[in-house]
Each structure stands twice: as structure tokens, then as C-alpha cells.
Structure 1
Amino acid sequence: MIDHITPLRPDECEPVPDAGLGALVTERGNLPLESVDVTADVTGLAAGVRVTQGFRNPFDVPLEATYIFPLPDRAAVTAFRMEADGRVVEGVLKERGQARADYDQAISEGRRAAIAEEDRPDVFTIRVGNIVPGERVTVRLTLDQPLPYEDGAATFRFPLVVAPRYIPGTPLDGDQAGGGWAPDTDAVPDASRITPPVLLPGFPNPVRLSLAATIDAGGLELREVRSSLHTVVREGNTVQLQPGERLDRDFILRLAFDASTSLSLVPDGEGAEGTFALTVVPPEAPPTAAPKDVVLVLDRSGSMTGWKMVAARRAAARIVDTLTSGDRFAVLSFDTVVEHPERLGAGLVEASDRNRYRAVEHLARLEARGGTEMLQPLEQAVALLGDPSRDRVLVLVTDGQIGNEDQILERLGARLAGVRVHTVGIDRAVNAGFLSRLTGFGKGRCELVESEDQLDEAMENIHRRIGSPLVTDLSLKGDGLDLVPGATGHLGAVYPGVPLTVHGRYRGDASGAVVLSGLDTAGRPWEQRVIGSRTDNPAVRSIWARARLRMLEDRYAAGDHSLEEEIIAFSLRYGVLCRFTAFVAVDTHVVAEGGPQHKVVQPVELPSGWQAPPAAPPMSLMAAPALMPASMPAPRAAFRMAAPGSAFTPPPAPASAEFAEPAGPGVPTPAAGAPAYGAGGSIDWMEHEQERSAAAREPLDPFREQLAEELRRLRAAASLRAEDRRRYLADLGTRLAGLAAHHGGHAELEALARDLTAGDPAVDVDTLWQLAEHTLETLLQRGPGGKRRPFWKR
């Protein structure tokens, strides 16, 4: 039997706009994040930014939505707010474990709540819980950020997507820290918090993006405004994105104007202390080149495929070409292995014409492949730079897309003393947070390259930094201004074309001057006196506090874990978010019985310029998320980095037998610790696993379970009258004493029990209540063996 097939007319088969694999749609939409609105007010070398995220529940049950997103790595987040159903709830900054406990309790009681946490200097997570069906909830973040300035231009950069990151290490047993596609590992113990699922290309634009920046040059002449990656419209002093842009690359504005030497003094509200911002324009005398040792480390991993590899090779070659015959250098390239030019060897060689030619020849043949094992090449580079009698320089060219930043800083931090570390970040969604932290240890420069067109300008900046600085051995003292010792951090050096910016604290009146001193290129004393002027710009205080917190966090990452309490206290005092604190907003109204019945981790865009997977997940995994039972575990699929010439290989079969499909011939199964990338279009991009098996959870002994129950009951009784709360505390002390005795004694519990049962009328009941709550929280944050649980799992 032969059936005749009538061909379709052209108008009957026109493609649906934005249609593609993974384009899942329900009647009310497909994803909870509906809109992102960014409004920036740029004034001189600082910007105040307001970020508004709109969430909507397209399902028929209460929803918890999780969104992992980037912010500028040097930005200070100072406020958080949740709005829903005509109600406005201001967020409160708390220690991270306490904030999570408040959020979890509110969610379990059916109240709306939202929490904002920092996982990296430029990666944040917001959770919004108990969004009822059809409801819209808005969360707002307020932040201040400094603008880097060089060669007559400031740069306002606002990241819009968290790119997939290479996750090394062996997967950890037990509960995962988050809901991302990568398992937590010994090298990246919070990997599941920084790996949001990724949409396949062709997915309908899921988020409405608007971004506007209003520019005030702060009394300086604004000569030019340029946008690097987006199409923008300028109306007066406001620059706006064209409608329809996607969250798949950084937004970048370059503002050309002349900076001037200045000292701004901003008193605190109470007036006893204040914050200063010092800008010093460098002298114009050219530096004298000094012999130096330079090690160039080039990332050739799979995520560098395409234009990034081309730009990286060009950048590395430009750096080699700037060396002189008095210099020595080495070139290391890496993916999962470390290589060097065969004709030069692994050590430092003289920067002769012949050797530089051989190095450039080697660089020209490099192609992207493999994983991003960055620790080993950096350790080798530091080992080569062991001669303290020479100027030592390390240059890293990479997109920085790794998850084990803390591990690298811990291993290298102390060894970078005396080494200038410069980084060249090449990507449209670069990991600027890590690259900036690394250069902070090495007192160098982080240069970001978002396109080949911008490469030449960036390399000029790096060239100057590789050369000798104009002024070194800097120190700062007050002249009629009482500076707070140790509040300025490391001063660095003065380089040609790069104004020096210093933030710090002072005591007393907002008047006086500062004197910056150092040595010029000939070793002669150099100094500059700058008179201060009082201004009213609260961003100066928050920017200083964020920089101080980042310095303390980097010292913590490098191994000084004694700093945790100091970091928390500092964050709470100055109202600036950090990795050990969180903003939490909790409504008082109950809107959902029993908490959210559905959880979604918002998928993010594949960054612009990244290659898509060559194959889609099995079609049986394509289903509308609204049809899936909330309790069903999400199938997990992952992509591995491929051999040269392709960015990814197809995913292995999902672990869930109900959804299992043959992986097909030739599909590799990821080994432990292999790099993984979220599989586009599959259910695990729309569904977050609500429950894990009891065997996978971190075990809680009866001792800790009882403490958790006592803490829950204590918080529930917080609204009692004072005399009833005192009686409650006495009863609690009796129970805790019995609990400690039952388990063979416990000094902290016994001490708390004595305080609660003493009945001293001179002790305020609020003080006792806070003592009980804080002690129970602290004990619960400790893992087995009495060690405090990592802050990302509290």
C-alpha cells in the first residue's frame, strides 16, 4: 500500500520564534524567574546599583524558586527586600546559619520568605519560598561598586550569567550543599551551589531583561561612552539596553574622562569616625625597565574553545614579545596536563630573539581540549619564580571557569609573597571574582577581555604592569587627619596610566590631609600631599567595607580559619553581605499549608560564545515540569569536556531507572571528579529534588536532634510575656542539664543550663533568651566530632 504525502506550504511550516530543543511551555509559562531589572547610577568612579528580580509561580502548588546569579565581584550588597501581595518585608543581615534557620522555619510554617547568600565574591543565590499559585514575588538588592580606571577611562561592568565551571576532585558522600548539576567534591565542597542548570540554545527567552545606567561624571568632563557587548540606546545621560537582550554575557560600559588627584572624607552618621577615598594620578615620568623573571601560564582547556583560544594565544604571544634580553621567561600551557615548549624546556630561559620566537611558535599550535586543572601549573610557576633578587612576575591567561578557587588560594596564598601576579580573563562571562582575588594576593592587575576587538587595549594595560612600577614601597600617613591604623590594607604600587585608589578609615573631624610616600624608579624618596574635602557619599563606606571583607575572606581561604568570627562581626557591623552572613526577609502571614510542594532551580543561559552540546538529552526527558510529581527525584545528566574540536560529549544515561535510556555506543561515562556540565532541556533543569534518601543525609544523633527541637520550640515561644519567658528558660535549663547528663556530660550545655536555672533577677530575660538561642545555634552548626560545620552547609 502506498500513501501519498501532501507537502506543506511554506507558510504552514514557518519556525516558531525562539523554538528549539528544550523549549518547554505550560499555559502559564515555563520558569519561575520572569524578569531582571538593573538600574545603575554612576557617579565618578563609583556606581550605586539596584537589582530587581521578579518571580512568578506558574504551577498549581506552592513553589520555592532558587536563582544562582552573578554580581560584580567588588560590589557591596547593603540591602534586601521582598514584595508580594501588596506587602513589603525588609531583609535583615544575620549570621548565615541563623538566617537559614529563620528561612527554613518560616517556609515550614507556610509563610513567605526570601534569603540572599554569597557563594563566591561574584556568585550569589536567592531562594524565594511559598510563592502561591499564580502569584508574583519581587526581590530587590541594593549594592555599591567601585569602577576601575585606567588610561583616561573607567569601566562599569555588570555580569549577567554564571558560566559553567570545571569541578575537580572526588565526589563527597552525604547531603549536597545545593541543587546544582555538579556534586560536591573534596576540592570544591560547595560545587552544587555554584553550578546552576543551563538552558539549551533555542530555548525561548525565559527572562525579560532591562538595564539602564545614568552617568554623572562627578564634575569631570565626560568625553565618550562605549558599550562593548550589547546594543544600547543613549538618551541624555542614560544608557539603556535594547529590548530583547538575553542574560548571556556581561554588560560593559567604558566611560572616557580625566580623573584627578583627590581625597574624599565621608563621616559616619554619628560623626565619631568616617571613611576616606584617596585617588592619586601617577606622575608622567617613564619607568626604567629592570630585569625580571616572567612565567606565562596559558589555559587551553575545553571551555576556551573558539574565539577565546584565539584571543588567548594572541595575548600570550604579545606578552612574550614585550620581554627584553635581560629578562628570563617560561611558558606553561595546561588542561588536565601541563606542557611547555619542547625546544625551550620547563625552566626559565633567556628572553633572546630565538627563544621568544620558539615560544610564540609553540603558542600558535595550541588548541582547546580537556579539563581545567589549574592548581598544578600555578604551583609549578611559583616554584620557577624562586629568585628574590629579581623582579618576579606571573601572568595567567584564562577564562577562570573553575570551582576550586579556595583550594588554589589556600595552596598558593603564602607562596605569592614577592611575586606580582597579573591575570588576563578572556570570556563574555568571565570568572572575575577569582581572577581579582588571585591578583590581590600577588599585588597585580586583573584585565578582562570580552572580545578580540578589546584585546589590544587590554594587552597595553598588562604590558605596563609587567614593566616596572613608577613608585614602590608606598606608605600613607595623616596630616591633620587621624587615620585608623591597618584600615587601608595593602597600598600596592603606582603604575603609569593607572591612578592609585585607596580606601580607609579616619577618626574625628572630616578635615585635614594625607601624605603618600614611596620610592621612585631611581630609589629616591617620592611623596604627594592631598588635601581632603568633606562629601556625602555613603557608597564610599560600603565599598571600603566590602574590600576589607574580601581581604579577610581571602586570608580565611588561604588557611586562617580563626578569622571567621571577626568576619561575621565586621559584616554585621557595617551591614555588608559576605560569605558568612545572609540577608533574610520573612513575612508574618501564613499563605501555604505545610510549605512549598514544588521546588525549581532556575536554569541560566549558555554564555555567549560558548559552543552548545552536539547532542540533546533523550526526548523522554523532555516533559512539562508542571506534570511531574513534586516528590520525584530529578534525573541527573551531565556533559563532559570532549576531545579537541568539540566542546562537549553527550550525557551518560540518567541514574533514575524510570527515565533511563541507553547512552548509545561510544558515549563515555564521567569518572569521579570529571568536569560536568548541566544537560539542557532535561527535567533536572526545571525540577529540584525535594527529598533525598535517608542514607545520603548527614547523620544526626539523638543529641543533636533534641537540640534542634529545643531551638525550634524556643523560637516559637519568643512572643510570650517576660515572666512566662523566664519560666520557660528555667524549664529549658532543667531539660538541657538532663540531656547533658544522659550523654555523659557536656560543658557548654551544662554551663547554659546553670545560667538558665540560676533565677538571678539582675539578669535581663532578653539577654538570657539571646544566650540560649545563640548557644543552641552554635552547637547545631557543628558537625560530628564537635567541628563547626562549613558555612555553606549551616
Structure 2
Amino acid sequence: MLGYGLKGSKEFRNNVALKQVGLQGNICGEFVELSVNQVYENIGEQNIDGIYSFPIPDTAVITGFEATLGGRTLKAMVEDQKEAAKLYDEAVLKGINTLSLEEPNSGMFQFSIGQILPGESVKIKLSYMDRLIYENDSLKLVVPAILAPRSIEHNSKQENYIQDNYKVSLNLLIEPLSKLKIESPTHDIKIEWEEDINLAKVTFSDDLFSLDKDLVLIMKEEKLQEASGMIYKYQEDGEEKGILYLRFIPKLTSSEEEKPNNYMFLVDISESMQGEKLEEAKNALQLCIRNLSEGDSFNIVAFSSELEYFSEFGKVPFNEDNLKRASEWIEKLSAKGGSNILEALKYSLSESNLIGHSTVLLFTDDMMEDENEIIEYVDKNIGDNRLFTFGIDTSANSYMINKLANVGFGRPEFIYEDERIDDVILRQFSRIENPQVDITEIDWGEVKVESTYPRTIDYLYDREPFAIFAKVSGNITGKVTVKGKVDEKEYIKSIDLDSLDLEENAQLILKVWSRNRIESIDEHLKGERGSTAEAMHNKIIELSRESGIISTATSFVMLEQMEDLVLGMPITRIIPLKASEQTIKNIADAKFIESPGFVYKSANKIISNNERNNLLLDKKYPREAILRILALNQYADGSFSNINEEDNYKKIATTASVLLGFTMGKEDILLYMNQLNKSIKYLLQSIQKNSNEYDVPLYTITALALKAALEKDILKGTMEMLVQDSIEMIKTKLVGKSSEMVLKILNSSIRSSLKDIARCLFKVSKDGKYIEEVLNIKDEKNSIDSLAKLSILKAL
């Protein structure tokens, strides 16, 4: 487990005590800014070189850092990268001591704060901004445990901790978009609501003397609003200004039958894709084709110097035979030669225009020659097709990736080092497959809008929270209306600005606006060159310095303030901060638009009669990896089973187990929604067609899987009603035959307990404390049932 704390020499742990921890923050809508204030004291007799170690969410942005010790205060400031590098070089030449910021592990940062004298106290304040996890109409905040001072043994990776007591306080203001039910499953909290305004203050109920486990806060919206927002007003140059923050969560359904679609996948297999990049791209293709539905057609073209076709005769229908053949073909792909993107695009668009429009997905990591020729060809020949481009790794020609998507009526995505290729591709493909709102107009009514983020809005995606920010001036009144179409149906959502809360203290919204503006300009910069690109680069530096938010064009320096004892006045100077380009990039590149998660690990021990075997499985297969393996082994009919399984009973049971494995965890599974809905269809059809094969255990696991899917809110179209009907039918079959626990879960209107479901599925020890399950996984394709059980156990 990671936490905030100091570390130092071997003797350090006996010399430094953590005295106080204060958590202060503000939540506005789905955004949070949190400050962690800590006080340490050197209780030893020697000077100590201190290093402050802290984790932040992998999507968070540092908004402040201060350290006060020995009569001086160090405060982080944002500076142009070139200027910061110049200051550092000058300091080295003059022999000035510099400070350092390092990232020894992913998501864990270390900051050197210099020597701590005996009896001296150190006050540290770290602030960061993030977007909260949104799932099942709830927002989730996680604050890592606060660790006591630690040391790292010489020539060892082992870290030693002191678990001493320290005073802990919490002061969190919550300004929600709608009425919330606030609770913490980890700590006792006190909630005070302001009577006149929609504002909550959250504190700890009792005095705490350590924060030795993560603080988790769940904020559930009492009534989901598809459109909501808030306003933050401020003065700028004597003029009334404001930031409008509007949030949309479309929940789309289509009453029409699913329309068959045509897909063309173009994948780069040139030499530059050699190794892990190609393997991940192949996995992404495997997942993409498993997201296809009955009636769809597809083809795959691998391009290097020459083209290789999955089907030499054009697109083929999606069925079990073609899925199997395509899977085998993808596995055999290997990197070779150059990259002939133009010929791949010519083939895909000419073939598509002959048989009807297609969705074309292009995956490449290569620079492109003859840019104008390629853009001109796509522009003239795109027709009713859509082209989605994916630039893999930073070597990709970002200018070209953007322009091709623009003229191809699609959207570009960039996959950088250390990002999973298949995650990005699958999330985008899931959006393509699901209903979406094609935006035709945003009517701002009476509001005077200076600029917006995003600058243009083309789509709203099903069940994905989408935030629109607008910098406005003058009188903020009237309505803002978003107009669009879902298929051929009109989509209109209006927000009455006069009914929105006026957040006087929500400076966080202004910071979020600045962060989004920086990210927006940085994204558009990839498609520009020359003087335009230079102007955009300079604007990023300006916004970054003004807001104090790090960017790809800036870095940190430290402002030191100390009292001159002779003159009796403060002295201020700049101290350069040594930080690697990669460390600064990792901080600046936080994907603020994606769902956050803390980079820490906790042991999920699986108790069984075969302890050693299951502990090995626990280490080898983290839940995220298991879900990916399961997703790669779905059949065209939606079932999951061991390879070549012909027993219907086993196929149904394994499919239900896999569905439980996905839906009972805490992960974001929206990217698997198409596959899971296919598995639900398979289960519903099996109940109708194979009812003679069902016994009490099979009915039980099927009903529990359908109930979990219903609670996870992943069902599309009319599926929700069909699932509810099937659960009611199964309940009548189980009355008097099944355990009271199963019927209690099926009748419950609240989210089922993982432990309760596990007790219904697995053998439990006599004392009722442990689940006894022996799992042996050797060949993954022949162990899908065991992997499904392991995924459920690891969710506990």
C-alpha cells in the first residue's frame, strides 16, 4: 500500500514522528481538489536528509506543493520548460544546491526537501485536482492511507514503517449538481448540509489518531439527471465573468432492430510495430471482432510494403466460422517491411463504396509520406463511410492522424507509451457500436459566450458523463439547449440557467476550465504547424503559468522565502528543481478526461485447500488481466466456454460465471458492454430453448448473473425488461427448492453483497469464515470456467 510520508536513512524511522494530518478539499460536481497537510518533527539528535514521498491518482494534476522548515518556505511554481532548464544550468555552474523531483515507481513521486535539524518541525502541503469515478449514479473519492515515516534498508527494497499515532482531521466541502446521499464504507463521518444552499460539509465523526487505511467516500445521486450544471462567477478587469459547467449523461435506447454494419480494420504490421505494440494491436483486433453482432460484415487488411487480406473476396458475414478463422489469421500476423497506408485506404474505401458504407478503423505507428496525396484521396472518396484513426506511440504522425479523421468524419485517438493499445481502441469501438447523439446545435440562448471547451461537440455517447465548459460574460440567464439526433429521432436537452446553483466559492471550476483549455489546445496543436503551432504552444505556457497547472510545455521551479535576521525582512529566490523529462511528462500527461484510479495494490488472498496453488494464481492473474482473457474467448453466439466445449449445461454455467465475474467487480466495464449484452442474450435464449437442461444450481447461477447485470446498469434497449421477466420466472422455479439466501438476493432492491453471492456459488468452510475452492489453470483456453470463478473470488 502506498501513502504520503517522509523517508530517509536507516535510523530515520526512529527519529522522525508524524504529528498531524489534515485533509481539506472541495468537490464541485464531479471534480475535486484535495490538499493533504502534514506536520513532521525530528525527535532525534542528528540532522536528517528528508525526502517526501507521495502517490496521486493516475489522472490527477498537481495544483500546489509547499514545504516549511528551518524558517524557510519552499513553494512550487510553474515555469516555461526552456526557462526552467536555463535556471538549472546556471545554478549548477554557480554551485547552488538544487532540489529534485523523482518518480521511482509508477504513480509514486519523491521530493527532496533538504536537511531537518534536531527538534525541527516540517510542514508539508500537497494539493491535486482530479475527476471523480462515476458509476451507477454515484461518484467515488478515494484518498490513500497516510503512512508514518519510513526508511529503505540499504541494498534492499524492503521498506520499514512506524505505526505511531497522529491527529487526523477532515474538512471537505461538497457542492453537488443534484441532491446526494453521502456515505463512507471505511470511516465514520459527519455530514452537515447548509439549509439555504446545496452545500455539504463532511468531517470525521470522532477524533482519529491515524489514517492507516484508504478513505473512501461514496456520493450517490438521489435522482439521475441527464442534464445538470453549475455557475461560477468572478470579476476580471472590472467586468462580470463566469464559467458555466454543464454535465450531460445520455441514457439512450433504440426501439428499432439493430442495423447490420460493415467494418474494415486496417492494421500496420511494418517493422516499427515489432514486439509488444503489434501484440497489443492484435489483441485489440481480437476484441473488436468479438464486439460484432449477427448481421454485421467485416474484413481485415494488414499493411506493410504490401497488403495482406483476411478475406481476398471482400467482407464476410460475422458468424462462428469466420470468427474462428479471423482469430487464427490475426494470431499469425508478424511485423515486416515498410508501410503502404495509401494502398490500404484505397482498397478499403473503394470496396466499401461498392457494397455500401463502412466504418473503417486505421491503426498505425508510422510516419506518412505524401501527406497531401493521402488526405486528398480520403477527402474525395470517403463518401458515406467513416474513418477512425489510431496513432500508436509518439512516433506516429499526429498531424496526419488528426487530418485523416477530420476529413473521414471520424475521430482520432493517440496511444502513448505505457498506455494499453487495446483499451483505447476498444473504448472507441464500443462508442461506435452503441447509440450516440449526433449533435446538430448548441443554443446558448441569451448568454454571451467567449469560448468553450470542447471547442466543437460532435457526439454524446451512451451513459458516458460529458462535461461542457463555457467562459461567459454579462448576465447569465435563460436556457442552454443541446440538439441532436439518435438515429432519426430528435434529441433535445435543455438546462435552465436560472435554476442552477450559483457557486460563490467554487474556484475549482475555474481551475478545471484552465486545465481543460490547456489540454484542448495541446490536442489541437498536433494538427497544426508553423506560426499557428508556435502561437498555440505559447498560449499553453501562458495558461499553465497563470493557473499553476503543469503542462507538456512547462516544468516546476521552487520559490524559496526566508527571513533575513539582519535586515528583518523576507528574502525571496528561485531554486531550480531537477526532474527528468519523463517525470514531468507523466505529471503533465494525466488523462484528466478518463476515469481515475489509484496506483496501489492490496493483497486479495484466496483461501482454499490448495493454498499454495491459489496464491500463485492470485499473483499471476490480477482481475484486469482475467477479464481481458475472458473477453478474448467469447464465441459468436455470445457464450463463454472452454475451447470446443459441446455440453450445453457447462456452456450456460460458464457464461453465467463470466458475466458475474465482470459485473461484480469495481472496474469500469463499459468498454465490454457489447460483449456482455451478447452473453446476456445467449442466457435468455438458453432459458427458452434449453429449459429441459436446467436444474436448481444452473437456474441459481443464471439468475444471480442476470441480477448482477441488472444492478450494474449495462443492459441495452429492451433487454432490461426481458431480464426482469426471466428473473421473475426463475424465482418461481426456485421457490421451495433453493436456499433462502438466493431468493433474498433475487428479491432485494439494493445491490447484492459479493460475500452473499459467493456463499451461494462456492463451498464454504464449516465455520462459515472461508471460501474453499481449488482452481487449476494451465491452458487458459481450456480453463475459462476456472478463470471465471477466479475473477469472482478476486472481486471479494
TM, length-normalised to structure 1: 0.47
Higher-RCO chain (CA-CA 8 Å, sequence separation at least 6): 1
Bigger fraction of residues in helix: 2
